[in-house]
Structure 1
Amino acid sequence: GLVDLAKTSASNTFTGDQKFTGGVSLPANTAYKGIGLQAWFDYKQDKDDTLTALSGKDVAGLLSYLGLTSAAKTDAKNTFTQKQTFSGSVALPSDTTLNGIGLESLFDSKLDASNALGTGQNWVDVTASRTAGVTYTNTTTRPICVSIPETADGQRGLYVGGVLTAFARGADSDSTLFAIVPPGAQYIFSGAFSSWAELR
């Protein structure tokens, strides 16, 4: 015959801080600041779902979730006639051209030009370390040039990879024998010489 003193079926309005111990059962029409508790919880759940969906996403993922499209992205073909400045990453399709030339071709030619014969190389006097009739090897990763002024009589020849690339013959005939030696190739000079220079 005991009655729980904390239980009430009447409509109550609390104006100060309230503290309840144990379980609290609230009717469906309970309101907070004029808004039903169910509406508050539904609103909170929506926000939690949104935060969960956005968590860990990059900019592209956020734009996709929000249904937005980057203003800088375009699938249309564009022709720029003046200088353009872009910030961030720029992805160019493989068929992008500059002055009518594909970018891939331009980049390839730039790379090739950086390894062109003479670029980053210097002429070196190697007379003191060279002897006629001795085979030498281009141990560098780039082609080198060999230039040998000779003053002897008879036949003189410069061979690269076993192939005669420069030849001189006769008495009192001063000449310069010249050849390009690829990386890893061997070269040899036969005859007498006054000096020996290499571009390497």
Structure 2
Amino acid sequence: MMPVSRYLCIFINVGLEDLAKTSGNNTFAGDQKFTGGVSLPANTAYKGIGLQAWFDYKQDKDDTLTALSGKDVAGLLSYLGLTSAAKTDAKNTFTQKQTFSGSVALPSDTTLNGIGLESLFDSKLDASNALGTGQNWVDVTASRTAGVTYTNTTTRPICVSIPETADGQRGLYVGGVLTAFARGADSDSTLFAIVPPGAQYIFSGAFSSWAELR
């Protein structure tokens, strides 16, 4: 029987025989905390798996560092499987709902369901179709009668302005909805409304003049 080392005896006496040996194998059964640097030998094992063999296995299987080395943004996105979800220098095609954080800059050739957004917005925001553009106020007093229904037969909205002079209640209706109203004796008011294309409008009461922007 070999004599027990005096250093081992010290560890045994203070209960550190499996916690702080400086030579041979150490086995830890719980959480351990070390201060300063820790040097792990090549045969270090974690839960029975050799760390050196594990790292070698992972590197051999994933080749992560090799795969990422020297790649540009497009290459990194391709490696990460993001080639169709986050490209920065080519067209992206999304087939389902996407959520982005921060600002998103859309190029002029962006399409929505096959329709170019630029041309779509241009057609919707055509200044030539704005209310008042290419339209003029017209005095239509001679051709208008209270209590008669009229229709906006143009392809654009028109405005109706009627200074009324009667006592009691006066109203201007568009599409059956009361849009302007006045009530009182010896009071002068101007009733105003915007009439969409194809909508009907009617004025009830007495008026001194009738003008339309059309």
Q: TM-score, normalised by structure 1?
A: 0.49
Contiguous gaps of at least 5 residues in structure 2:
1-14
Kindly report structure 1 stretches of 4+ aligned residues shifted beyond 3 Å: 1-103
**Aligned ranges 1:114-193 → 2 under 5 Å:** 114-193=128-207
Deviation for aligned residue 1:176: 0.2
SS of residue matched to 1:81: coil
- Counterparts of 2:82 and 2:177, CA distance in 1: 67
Structure-1 separation of matches of 2:76 and 2:112: 33
User: CA 1:2–1:62 in structure 2 vs 1: closer, same or farther (change >3 Å)?
Assistant: closer
Structure 1 pair 122/188, CA: closer, same or farther in 2 (3 Å)?
same
Aligned residues: CA RMSD: 14.4
Count of paired positions: 200
Report deviation, 1:15: 109
Q: 1:116/1:19 Cα in 2 relative to 1: closer, same or farther (>3 Å)? A: closer
Give the superposition deviation at 1:179.
Answer: 0.2
For residue 112 of structure 1, report the CA deviation from its aligned partner: 2.8
| Aligned equivalents of 1:130, 1:98: Cα separation in 2 | 46
Give, in angstroms, the shift of residue 114 of structure 1. 1.5
What is the DSSP-based 3-state SS (H/G/I as helix, E as strand, rest coil) of the residue aligned with 1:104? helix
Matches of 1:8 and 1:96 in 2, distance apart?
66
Query: Deviations along 1:154-194, whole A, 9 cap, x unmatched?
Result: 00000000000000000011100000000000000000000
Task: Tell me, in whole angstroms, the C-alpha distance in 1 between the residues paired with 2:169 and 2:131.
Answer: 29
What SS does the aligned partner of 1:42 have? helix
Identity %: 98
Q: Secondary structure of 1:183's partner?
A: coil
Query: Structure 1: 5+ residue runs without aligned partners?
Result: none
Q: CA deviation at 1:152?
A: 1.0
More moved, 121-130 vs 82-91? 82-91
Question: What SS does the aligned partner of 2:159 have?
Answer: strand
Q: Offset at 1:151?
A: 1.4
User: How far 1:108 sits from its partner (Å)?
Assistant: 1.8
